[in-house]
Amino acid sequence: MGNPMKIRAASKDGVTEVKVLMSHEMETGLRKDASGNAIPAWFIAELSAKLNDKPVMTAQWGPSISKNPFLSFKIKGGKAGDKVAVTWTDNKGDSRTDEAVVT
Amino acid sequence: MTTQPLNRRGFLTRVAALGLTTALGTTLAPHLARAEWNKAAFDGKSSAEAFKALGVSATAESADVQILASDIAENGAVVPVQAVSKIPGTTRISVLVEKNPSTLAAVFDIGPDVVPDVTTRIKMGQTSNVTVLVEADGKYFTATKEIKVTLGGCGG
């Protein structure tokens, strides 16, 4: 279970813009530690977003996404008080879901 | 009883309409359920390999696909990239970095309720072409932009 995500969701002119900041190492598997041993890959592989429990977007990521990933996307519709939920699953099977209320 | 707003027929019609919209809501986005992490695509060492693993055949450059990113990234570890498609029926947006050890960076499966406009931050080992691949109605469109990196993002 990773650290909480920061999610902001704001509705404007019928479009809800969602900004997500995740806390994850996003290790590529190509780097080596001080003693020369390869650091195993560890990254968010799958991601899904829901508006009021309805899936709106999914994503697959590779290790090329930056450490502590940022994601921004726009949902058609959505109004103040609606719930946006984002779930990620990393390549080790760890997973985390966080929610935010649309403002 | 002329003011009765909801007779039996009206009620049934509304229930049927509600059922229809619910059914549409669940069937409109079948591709959102198909995602299973595509290892072969992420292992691809070039756009050609990644395209093949993604099942992409013919691609066409399109002005309706945009990559919004700065020309020069000072820090290759954090390169903001915005991918926008103005093509109707866009279901999938992928971001590829040609010279990264793993070319494919991200695949976004866009539901009908989402604007095909996503922003994220990627790592770049060196100056490279970045390609946004858009799938719409089974056709593939691309846009490519070179981003110069002055400090690599994959070293120690």
Q: Which CATH number fits domain A6-101: 2.60.40.420, 2.60.40.10, 3.40.50.720, 2.40.128.50?
A: 2.60.40.10
Q: Do B106 and A59 touch (CB under 8 A)?
A: yes
C-alpha span between B125 and A6 (Å, rounded): 27
Chain B residues within an 8 Å CB radius of A39: none
C-alpha distances in Å from residue B111, one per residue of A38, B3, B61, B116, B155: 38, 42, 23, 9, 36
What ipTM, to 2 d.p.?
Answer: 0.93
What CATH architecture applies to the domain B36-149? Answer: Sandwich (2.60)
pLDDT (0 to 100) of residue A83: 96
Q: Do A55 and B32 touch (CB under 8 A)?
A: yes
Domain extents for chain A?
6-101
Q: Which residue of A has its CA nearest to B155?
A: A31
Closest Cα in chain B, distance from residue A62 (Å): 5
Report how far apart the first and last C-alpha atoms of chain A are (Å, whole number). 27
Render pLDDT for B62-83 as a digit per residue (tens, 0 to 9).
Answer: 999 999 999 999 888 999 999 9
Residues of chain B with pLDDT under 50: 1, 20-28, 156
- Compute mean pLDDT per 10 residues along chain A, 103 residues long, and list them: 89 94 91 88 94 94 94 93 95 93 95
Handedness of CA B96, A62, A69, A27 (dihedral sign): negative
Please name the member of B33, B42, B120 whose beta carbon is closest to the beta carbon of A70: B120
Cβ-in-10-Å burial (0-12, 13-18, 19+) of B67 comes to: middle
C-alpha span between A99 and B80 (Å, rounded): 24
Q: Do A64 and B106 touch (CB under 8 A)?
A: yes
